[in-house]
Structure 1
């Protein structure tokens, strides 16, 4: 007599998952230029909240940089130290990296170039941003084999002192109305995007321009 047998399919083995890291940048040093105000300040504070020790690069606002350092050292998970540096001076840029190692005992792992400058005109400003985007793509290729990534965040209009300079209220409202979100961006809209790019979760993101702008096209 023929016999038959049946077997239940084994339940699939659960795929191990890595628990989210509360402080994904703990043990790492970040240099943020333009960190005393605006988007740079928000980025520096966010990276510190993720556990990074942060060098607050600034050029002309020592009081604001020192105040931010005091706030982060008293409340954030990472430490912070202000370092004055003119990013147009190669020696000053080198001093930023030396300052990072001197302050925290290890070389920098992250560099966020966020120093802003008033442009003589919109055309020149636009050209400079286009040059940065091209440079990022070239850097990503030149850094091949180093496991260092290079990316750019293009934020669009953001409510900072630099953005408001020379604009009427009418012009600001017009820009806000043109955005699908119906508002101007805030520095805190941009900081988490940069935080992601600085983390291991973004290890496969390289040579990209991330347009964190609320939908401007």
Structure 2
């Protein structure tokens, strides 16, 4: 990849092309804005139903970087052909034959699928695993042919739930994120040398977003308070920008020697400190 002095700033994303799934709000929106600040050349974001949110995020990105090329794409994580379909639309929408950075941020968070262990149905299990594990795999697989010769970045947004012993009703959600972490490690070992890319996941805790509000409504504010109590940096839940800063680093040349790793971005979550070693 060359020496770190080959570019004026190894933190820059100047000239890079990125796809961020779930970019209409929350963490995905913050990542898109961080990429714009770091000088990215072209950016695609996906949304499930919130097209206005995605358009608003891209408008903010353009206010930061007026020359940025952008496209908002509707995508369904439960589409069996999501990878080939989305990558094709991204290439066409941005007018490119290369994608440098992919951030799999979108996830199936439907509260109705978060069922207690004793009541879990095959349908709910299947949808959580398909959306949170198969969909990122499908997207990465379809993108491999369009990565740069060196320096590609594949970043999966995971969760503290992948490392915790989870209670009801998020046991299967946690299992899906643990599976995503496992896939990320495996791809880092299997494909990094072959593709010249790195594969990493980012483990986040409760972050201020619509999904966090929905979880609080469904599970009670005490669930969020328990997360706040576990933070060892500040007694608060994360802001989306806290996660975006970490992802921006992993997407840059500065992170070229990090591969197959689970990067904790959870406020120093107390219960995980010993595990993280």
- TM-score where L is the length of structure 2: 0.67
Structure-1 separation of matches of 2:48 and 2:80: 14
Query: Which of residues 99, 124, 133 is equivalent to 2:181?
Result: 133
Q: Are residues 1:60 and 2:49 paired?
A: yes
Structure-2 separation of matches of 1:86 and 1:31: 15
SS at structure 2 position matched to 1:183:
coil
Q: Which residue does the alignment assign to 1:101?
A: 91
Q: Which residue does the alignment assign to 2:257?
A: 204
Q: Deviations over 1:118-167 (max 9, x none)?
A: 24131011111111111101111121322111000001111111122142
Structure-2 separation of matches of 1:51 and 1:23: 10
**How far off is 1:96 after superposition?**
2.5
Query: Which of residues 127, 150, 164 is equivalent to 2:213?
Result: 164
Q: Deviations over 1:164-214 (max 9, x none)?
A: 214233432332122112111111000011111111111110000000111
Q: Which residue does the alignment assign to 2:22?
A: 34
Structure-2 separation of matches of 1:23 and 1:196: 7
**How far off is 1:44 after superposition?**
1.1
Structure-2 separation of matches of 1:88 and 1:27: 32
Q: Are residues 1:142 and 2:190 paired?
A: yes
Q: Deviations over 1:56-104 (max 9, x none)?
A: 1111111111111222223336332101111332534323322332224
Contact 2:205–2:227 (8 Å) recurs in 1: no
**How far off is 1:55 after superposition?**
0.3
SS at structure 1 position matched to 2:204:
coil
SS at structure 1 position matched to 2:195:
coil
Contact 1:43–1:195 (8 Å) recurs in 2: yes
Size of the aligned set, in residue pairs, is: 202
**How far off is 1:17 after superposition?**
5.8
Contact 1:86–1:93 (8 Å) recurs in 2: no
Q: Which residue does the alignment assign to 1:13?
A: none
SS at structure 2 position matched to 1:165:
helix
RMSD: 2.1
**How far off is 1:105 after superposition?**
2.5
| Alpha carbons of structure 1 residues 19 and 85: separation in structure 2 relative to 1, 3 Å | closer
**How far off is 1:22 after superposition?**
8.3
Q: Which residue does the alignment assign to 2:9?
A: 21
| Alpha carbons of structure 1 residues 93 and 19: separation in structure 2 relative to 1, 3 Å | closer
